[in-house]
Amino acid sequence: MRRTTLSLSLSLLAAGLAGSAFAHSETSAWRLFVADHSEPVVHVIDAIEGELLESFDIHGAASLYRSNSDETVYAVQGSADVVTAIATGIAFHDHGDHADIEVEAPRLTGTEIEGSYPVHFVEHHGHWAAFFDNEGVARIFRERDALAGSVELREVDAGAPHHGVVVPYGDYDLVSEPHPEDPSKLPIGIRVQDRAGAQIGELAECPDLHGEATTGNLLAFACETGLLLVRAGSDAPAIEHLPYTDALSEGKSTTLVGGRGLQYFMGNVSGNDGQSAVVLIDPSEAEAFRLVELPTRRVHFAVDPIRARYAYVFTEDGQLHQLDVLAGEITQSLRLTDPYSMDGQWRDPRPRVTVAGDNVIVTDPLEGKLHLVDAASFEKTGEVNVPGTPFSIVAVGGTGITHGHEHGH
C-alpha cells in the first residue's frame, strides 16, 4: 500500500528546482486493536472513522500489548502457547521540532514467539521479553526484528517453572526468583543477572511478586510489602524498596500501570475489600501512596497518555470515572453499560479501557460494541459495533506531518 509520507530529499531542496511547490499537512491517525474474548481473532478499527479495517486470525484468545513506538501490537495467547506480532501500519519519525507520520495497512509480520503458556510480557527500550510460566524461561527479542519478520531469540532461564517475569535492562536482566519450597507460589524477589547469567549483588526481596510497570525512567515491581523501584545505576541497575504505608490498610497492589507525561504509578488494591479502591503512587513524595475510594468494585483502569493529569477507572456498576491524579480524586463519572459484576470467574468477559486521541474507549463485551467518550467534555459521543465479544483493547496513533510536493506548470 502506498505510504502517505513522502520524504523531502535534501538534494531536491539544494537544487532549488524551478516551478516546484512543496507542501506539508498535519495528519492524525488512530487505530484500535481489539481481541475477542474467546475466538482467535484480532480486529483493527479506524478510531477516527469507526470503520473495521482488518481482522486477523490468530491461534487463541489473546491479551494485547502495544509497543512504546506504536508500530507493533502483540497478541499474547496463553492458551495457544504463542505470541503473535502485528504491524500497526502507523509509524512516527522524530525530527525534533516535529514528527513525520507514515500510515500503511496493518499486517501480520510473520513473527511468532512460541513456548508453553506465555503470560507476563514486558518491554524496555525496544526489547521485549515473553515469560513462559510452564517453562520458567523468558525469550527476548527486539521490536525492529519482530517487524521485519525474523527474530533472534535470547533465552533467560529463571530456574524453575513459575508465574514469573524477566525484564531486559540494558546489559542486564531483572529475573524473578521462584519460591524455593513451592514454585507454584508467587516469586520471592528479583535478581540482577548479566548476559552470561551471573548474578550481580544480592537478591532484592519481593515476597508475592506480581505486577510491574514503567513510568519515565523508573521501573517498579509490586510486592506484598511494597514496591521494588529500579533505576539505572553507575554500573548495574540500582534497586530500592518502597514500603507500603497505612494508606493501603494492610492491602497490597498486584497490578500496576505507569503514568505518561507525569511520573507515577497507578495500581489496584487487594485485601480488605480493596477492590473498591485504586492507589496512586508517587515515589518522590513523602506520602508516596494515596488511596482513592471508588463507589463500587473496579473492573479495569488506564492512564491518559495525552492528558497526563487524568486516568480512568471502570467500575462494576457500568460507570466510567475520570480520576485527577494530582488531586487524587474522582472528578467526573458517566454510566456507559449495564452492570458487570466482579463476582464469578476472573476470566469472565468484562469491559476494558483505552485512550485514542480525544476519546476514551470502553469495550462492552456482552453487547458487542465499543463506547466512545469525549475526554474533554466527558460525554458519550458514539459507539462502534464489533463482531463477537470485544475484550482486550489497545490504541495506537497520533498526529504528525505528511510531506509532498507538486510540480507547477
Three-point CA angle 283, 288, 293, nearest 5°: 130
Residue-number span of the structural domain to which 98 is assigned:
23-407
In a domain, 123, yes or no: yes
As a whole-number percent, the residues of the chain with pLDDT over 90 amount to 83
Name the residue type at position 22.
F
In a domain, 18, yes or no: no
Q: Is the pLDDT of residue 323 over 60?
A: yes
Virtual CA dihedral for 216, 219, 222, 228, nearest 10 degrees?
-120
In a domain, 16, yes or no: no
**According to the model, what pLDDT value does residue 272 have?**
54
**Which whole number is the average pLDDT over 299-310?**
97
Q: What is the CATH number of the domain that holds 86?
A: 2.130.10.10
In a domain, 306, yes or no: yes
In a domain, 244, yes or no: yes
In a domain, 13, yes or no: no
In a domain, 6, yes or no: no
**According to the model, what pLDDT value does residue 95 have?**
67
3-state secondary structure of 297: coil
Q: How many domains does the chain have?
A: 1
**According to the model, what pLDDT value does residue 249 have?**
67
Q: What is the pLDDT of residues 148-173, one digit of tens each?
A: 999 999 999 999 999 999 999 999 99
Least confident of 21-25, 26-30, 80-84, 334-338: 21-25
Banded pLDDT at 254 (limits 50, 70, 90): very high
Contacts of 305 (CB under 8 A, 6+ apart): 260, 261, 355
**Which whole number is the average pLDDT over 250-256?**
89
State the residue for C-alpha cell 449495564. 338
Q: Among residues 265, 240, 239, 241, which one has the least CA distance to residue 253?
A: 265
In a domain, 345, yes or no: yes
Contacts of 310 (CB under 8 A, 6+ apart): 303, 304, 322, 323, 324, 325, 331, 375
Mean of per-residue pLDDT scores for the chain: 91
**Which whole number is the average pLDDT over 266-295?**
89
**Which residue did the predictor score with more confidence, 16 or 208?**
208
Banded pLDDT at 345 (limits 50, 70, 90): confident
Least confident of 3-7, 219-223, 225-229: 3-7
Q: Is the pLDDT of residue 60 over 50?
A: yes
| The length of the chain, given as a count of residues | 409
Q: Is the pLDDT of residue 84 over 50?
A: yes
Strand-pair category, 310-315 with 319-324: antiparallel
Least confident of 8-12, 119-123, 201-205, 403-407: 8-12
d(CA 174, CA 92): 30
